[in-house]
Amino acid sequence: MPMTLRGARVVLRPTVPSDVPSLAAIRATPEVYARWRGGADLVAAVREDLAEPGAEQLTIEDGDGGEGEVIGMIQWSAEADPDYRHASIDIYLDPAVHGRGLGTDAVRTLARHLIIDHGHHRIVIDPAADNTAAIRCYGKVGFRPVGVMRSYERGADGTWHDGLLMDLLAEELMP
């Protein structure tokens, strides 16, 4: 059951339909669109994300002076096979708030929830291999590079780009 999570600087709450326009506007910024895309109709793309089976989406609000302001979305899903059980995280954040530690706080808050409340011992995240800001953010939480996934995703230009698989073991979560 979705719940509201409070980090040191952000609030992660269940995404509701009224969040869709704000999230679509964030997805439309060039920095986010280059990584998340979704076609010409980003409102429809966000709605599709919300309907994705097995994934839980949380809207990120700025709890650091901008109470209630939607600044992004973070989602997670889990592998249920007990021999391979782990969770995965994806996130996008409004470029207007980049560099303030809010993304790090959002990822740390969700990772803590997945470890403590859901009992996951391992979490993965897979930024583009050239997304140095995201890689640095995830490293601050404790994620470590596992390896490069070659030609992992198609870019807006139609060419294939590498991804970086990173993982975090429960005991490596940084405070």
For the domain that residue 159 is a member of, what is the CATH number? 3.40.630.30
Tokens of 92: 């996008």
Cα 34 to Cα 38: distance, rounded to the nearest angstrom? 10
pTM of the entire predicted model: 0.94
Distance between first and last Cα of the chain: 25
How many independent structural domains does the chain possess?
1
User: What's the pLDDT at 67?
Assistant: 61
Q: Which residues of the chain have pLDDT under 70?
A: 1-2, 64-67
- Mean residue pLDDT across the chain: 93
User: What's the pLDDT at 40?
Assistant: 82
User: What's the pLDDT at 37?
Assistant: 75
User: What's the pLDDT at 175?
Assistant: 85
Four-point Cα dihedral 84, 73, 49, 90, nearest 10: -30
User: What's the pLDDT at 139?
Assistant: 98
Range of the domain at 155: 5-172
Nearest to 103 by CA among 4, 5, 9, 6: 9
Which is it for strands 69-79 and 55-62: parallel, antiparallel or unpaired? Answer: antiparallel
